[in-house]
Structure 1
């Protein structure tokens, strides 16, 4: 029976979960739990907080499984739930500063010239990291992010653009450094 769950599509599993299928929903959690936690970490959550919010997101997803229609992926749907929960948590704890803070110093690429996305994201300001993660990690549109964060649309667009520009520069710099070290 376990093999049958692995072979089933997310839409089928979600429909079964909406009818009370706990094993089917467990399979969805197994498939997408790591991706949800990774998104939350990229948004700035510490590991324990990412785990807590991911768990809350999956509880909400289970309770609202009948709302999932399969228009997008289940992973994207549950990531949006998790992103919204994280935003609420950050706002509640007053850790998020809506104004553009002073630019953070971007650390130099590692000596090996290898850098992953998580490392590059740590070089962004909190606002940039959050807006980029919501846009490209959770698939939220700029107006949706602006509403969720209670920020002007132009500010969200600026954070996303500036964040992406910084990411490109950091990743290109790391790639260039890696190539010169391997050639030399």
Structure 2
């Protein structure tokens, strides 16, 4: 695994790797997949994709990114760019499967077990406690990096609806992830 090809690409910046991949250097793109594959799958899981589906969509996203690598201009991060591609592919699958139509604000995912003695922040567990539409909108806007407008267009929802889902979802996340006394959260707001 530590062959000369791997070490050659491991030290290069994502933008350099994208340039090499645009010239047909598949090993450079392989390094990008190695670096960012788990983050892309993580965003998809937070959006609601389960196991193999997250893997399949991530693979499709990287294939699309490879085919369109010359379109990446380095204005943002490669990771952000491929996450947006993955989110859009996943949303197309949701539309195709007509699962998105069943998502209403009242549809709430099963809550993950919560242990008050565990002080560690469990973002995945907190996201699972959101309504499906809230989880999807929050993850698209903050995990995949889509704007509210891009998320609204992708979901075929009014912009105000997406903004409402994001606002409610973030409020629920703040409440769930805040320490019992709320002091740490207030400190973060004052510093931000």
Normalised by the length of structure 2, the TM-score is 0.86
2:143 pairs with 137, 146, 155, which one? 137
2:154 matches 1:148: yes
2:28 pairs with 24, 28, 34, which one? 24
2:98 pairs with 76, 80, 94, which one? 94
Q: Do 1:97 and 1:127's aligned partners in 2 also have CA atoms closer than 8 Å?
A: no
Could you tell me which residue of structure 1 aligns to residue 184 of structure 2? none
Runs of 5+ consecutive residues of structure 1 not aligned to the other structure: 178-184
* Alpha-carbon shift at residue 111 of structure 1 (Å): 3.5
* Structure 2: distance between partners of 1:76 and 1:45: 18
> Could you list the runs of 4 or more consecutive aligned residues of structure 1 that deviate by over 4 angstroms after TM superposition?
105-108
Cα deviation, 1:82-111, whole Å, max 9, x if unaligned, reads 000000001110111376332637667324
**Further displaced range: 113-122 or 137-146:** 113-122
* Alpha-carbon shift at residue 112 of structure 1 (Å): 2.4
2:125 matches 1:127: no
Could you tell me which residue of structure 1 aligns to residue 37 of structure 2? 33
* Alpha-carbon shift at residue 176 of structure 1 (Å): 2.2
RMSD of aligned C-alpha atoms? Answer: 1.9
* Structure 2: distance between partners of 1:19 and 1:116: 41
2:119 matches 1:110: no
1:159-170 equivalence runs, <5 A: 159-170=165-176
Which structure has the higher relative contact order (CA within 8 Å, separation 6+)? 1
* Structure 2: distance between partners of 1:45 and 1:101: 19
Cα deviation, 1:12-69, whole Å, max 9, x if unaligned, reads 1001101111000000000000000000000010011000000000000000000001
* Structure 1: distance between partners of 2:111 and 2:53: 25
Runs of 5+ consecutive residues of structure 2 not aligned to the other structure: 182-192
Normalised by the length of structure 1, the TM-score is 0.90
Q: How many residue pairs are counted as aligned between the two chains?
A: 176
- Residues 83 and 103 of structure 1: CA distance in aligned 2, closer, same or farther (over 3 Å): closer
Could you tell me which residue of structure 1 aligns to residue 54 of structure 2? 50
* Structure 2: distance between partners of 1:55 and 1:138: 16
